[in-house]
Structure 1
Amino acid sequence: MAEARIYHNSRCSKSREALALLTEHGIEPEVVYYLETPPSVEELRTLITDAGVSVRQAVRTKEAEYKELGLADASDDELLAAMVAHPRLIERPFVVTAKGTRLGRPTSLVEEIL
Structure 2
Amino acid sequence: MKATIWHNPACGTSRKTLAILEDTPGVEVDVILYLKTPYARERLVQLFADAGMTPHEALRLMGTDAQERGLGGLDTDALLDAMAANPAYVNRPFVETDKGVRYCRPQDKVREIL
TM-score of the pair, normalised by structure 1: 0.92
Counterpart secondary structure, 2:65: helix
The residue aligned with 2:43 is: 43
CA distance in 1, matches of 2:83, 2:72: 13
CA distance in 2, matches of 1:6, 1:58: 15
State whether structure 2 residue 74 is matched by structure 1 residue 74: yes
How many aligned positions are there?
Answer: 113
1:3-33 residue CA offsets vs partner (Å, 9 max, x unmatched):
1100000000110011000011022311000
CA distance in 2, matches of 1:31, 1:59: 21
The residue aligned with 2:6 is: 7
Shift of 1:72: 2.8
**Sequence identity of aligned pairs in percent?**
42
Q: Identify, as 1 or 2, the structure richer in helix.
A: 1
Counterpart secondary structure, 2:28: coil
TM-score of the pair, normalised by structure 2: 0.92
The residue aligned with 2:101 is: 101
Preserved contact between residue 8 and residue 31 of structure 1 (Cα < 8 Å)? yes
Unpaired runs of at least 5, structure 1: none
More divergent stretch after superposition (29-38 vs 63-72)? 63-72
Preserved contact between residue 94 and residue 102 of structure 1 (Cα < 8 Å)? yes
1:34-79 residue CA offsets vs partner (Å, 9 max, x unmatched):
0011111110110011011121111102243303432131011111
CA distance in 2, matches of 1:62, 1:17: 19
> Pairwise CA RMSD of aligned residues?
1.3
